[in-house]
């Protein structure tokens, strides 16, 4: 079992955030982020499942703060959702206002070694997940075209943390199969897969793929245990601002975008219940319901609005759990927060 240090889960989460925030605002990381932005200005968004293993900055060895995540059960999204439409349009408008292109990565995931280490949001049906994300890709293209916003479909094979690139030409490339590719080979491969991709975005997707190849080699070298690829989550995180929470198999993250939040919260709670019942996590450690809302302006109403959002999400999520999965209530701890997006540091509103 992948145990946490001998401290309460809430304290462990706060320590984890403090560690990430300290690194995020450190001179070295800040300089690296600025340098990366200058060399690779494309804004990058990733649409992915709530599964905590799917942390693209780690998988692609990218500086923290570059890839903007959107999360939901199974990576299921619809641009018709009001919350999603508003947040994504704001993101695109910002990119255009500063003269940047946008790369959108719509993802599905699976495990090569055992389908039950795959995506519960699609009942472990990888074919259904692929079809759904292909249609989501087409929806983005219908609305935003390809000249400024370019959308690609990408699988994530979680046993090796390998990206599976779906080309616009129908070709599929598993990055685990091209570990010996030279820089020139990778560039030619990307040009072949994405023939209509603007040159600027082609240059900026290149380090993501090279980073993934380097990461796969490290996973192979360290010989990560299969048990570490299994579901062992003990945190249900609801809201936004969780890109610091990247400990593998530790948290299920539900974004507040779908018009019906009950389903993903219930599904996540059921997965936590099974983790307890199957002994993958201990009853003594318990589980945490954490809610969060981000803000950038600490002086105006944005921060206060974030506090109201976080408290609402806590009450809503707790109500769903109490009514739908009451068996885990005795094991629940609570952490309600906002997060300063300039520092990635959480502010505790309530905790247990």
Separation CA 137–CA 292 (nearest Å) = 28
Own/partner long-range contacts of 112-116 (Cβ < 8 Å, ≥24 apart): 112/157, 112/159, 112/160, 113/159, 113/226, 113/229, 114/226
Asked whether the predicted pLDDT for residue 230 surpasses 90, the reply is: no
CA distances from 332 to 130, 268, 322, 351 (A): 34, 13, 10, 11
Q: 40-225 adopts what CATH topology?
A: Beta-carbonic Anhydrase; Chain A (3.40.1050)
Q: In the chain, which residues fall in CATH 3.30.1330.140?
A: 231-351
Closest CA to 291 of 325, 268, 270: 268
Average pLDDT rounded to a whole number, residues 263-267: 92
Residues with Cβ within 8 Å of 331's Cβ and at least 6 positions away in sequence, in order, are 276, 283, 286, 287
Task: Tell me the pLDDT tens digit for each residue of 161-202.
Answer: 999 999 999 999 999 999 999 999 999 999 999 999 999 999
Q: In the chain, which residues fall in CATH 3.40.1050?
A: 40-225
Q: What is the per-residue pLDDT for 140?
A: 98
CA distances from 127 to 122, 134, 150 (A): 9, 11, 23
Q: What is the per-residue pLDDT for 80?
A: 95
Task: Tell me the pLDDT tens digit for each residue of 233-249.
Answer: 899 999 999 988 877 77
Separation CA 351–CA 334 (nearest Å) = 5
16-20, 222-226, 276-280, 333-337: range with lowest mean pLDDT: 222-226
Q: What is the per-residue pLDDT for 1?
A: 43
Separation CA 179–CA 182 (nearest Å) = 9
Report the predicted TM-score, pTM, of the whole model to 2 decimal places. Answer: 0.90
Average pLDDT rounded to a whole number, residues 117-133: 92
Separation CA 224–CA 4 (nearest Å) = 17
Band (pLDDT 50/70/90 cuts) for residue 292 is: very high
Q: 231-351 adopts what CATH topology?
A: 60s Ribosomal Protein L30; Chain: A; (3.30.1330)
Task: Tell me the pLDDT tens digit for each residue of 126-153.
Answer: 999 999 999 999 999 999 999 999 999 9
Contact 334, 288 (CB under 8 A): yes
């Amino acid at each position: 079992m992948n145990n946490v240090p001998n401290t309460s889960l809430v304290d462990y989460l706060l320590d984890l955030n403090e560690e990430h925030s300290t690194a995020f605002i450190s001179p070295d990381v800040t300089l690296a982020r600025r340098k990366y932005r200058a060399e690779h200005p494309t804004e990058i968004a990733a649409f992915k499942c709530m599964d905590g293993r799917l942390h693209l900055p780690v998988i692609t060895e990218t500086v923290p703060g570059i890839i903007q995540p959107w999360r939901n059960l199974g990576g299921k999204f619809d641009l018709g959702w009001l919350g999603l439409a508003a947040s994504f349009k704001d993101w695109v408008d910002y990119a255009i206002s500063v003269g940047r292109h946008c790369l959108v990565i719509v993802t599905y995931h699976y495990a090569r070694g055992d389908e039950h280490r795959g995506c519960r949001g699609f009942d472990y049906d990888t074919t259904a997940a692929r079809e759904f994300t292909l249609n989501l890709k087409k929806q983005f293209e219908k609305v935003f075209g390809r000249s400024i916003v370019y959308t690609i479909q990408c699988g994530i094979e979680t046993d090796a943390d390998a990206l599976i690139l779906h080309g616009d030409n129908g070709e599929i490339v598993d990055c685990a199969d091209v570990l010996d590719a030279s820089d020139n080979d990778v560039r030619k491969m990307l040009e072949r897969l994405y023939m209509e991709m603007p040159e600027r975005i082609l240059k900026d997707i290149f380090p993501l793929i090279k980073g993934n190849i380097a990461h796969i080699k490290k996973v192979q070298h360290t010989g990560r245990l299969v048990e570490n690829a299994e579901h062992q989550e003990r945190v249900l995180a609801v809201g936004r601002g969780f890109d610091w929470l990247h400990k593998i198999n530790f948290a299920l993250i539900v974004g507040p975008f779908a018009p019906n939040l009950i389903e993903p919260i219930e599904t996540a709670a059921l997965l936590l219940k099974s983790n307890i019942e199957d002994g993958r996590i201990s009853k003594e450690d318990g589980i945490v319901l954490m809610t969060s809302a981000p803000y950038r302006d600490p002086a105006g109403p944005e921060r206060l609005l974030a506090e109201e959002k976080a408290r609402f999400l806590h009450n809503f999520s707790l109500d769903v759990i109490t009514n739908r999965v009451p068996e885990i209530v005795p094991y629940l701890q609570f952490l309600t927060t906002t997060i300063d997006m300039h520092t990635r540091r959480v502010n505790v509103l309530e905790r247990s």
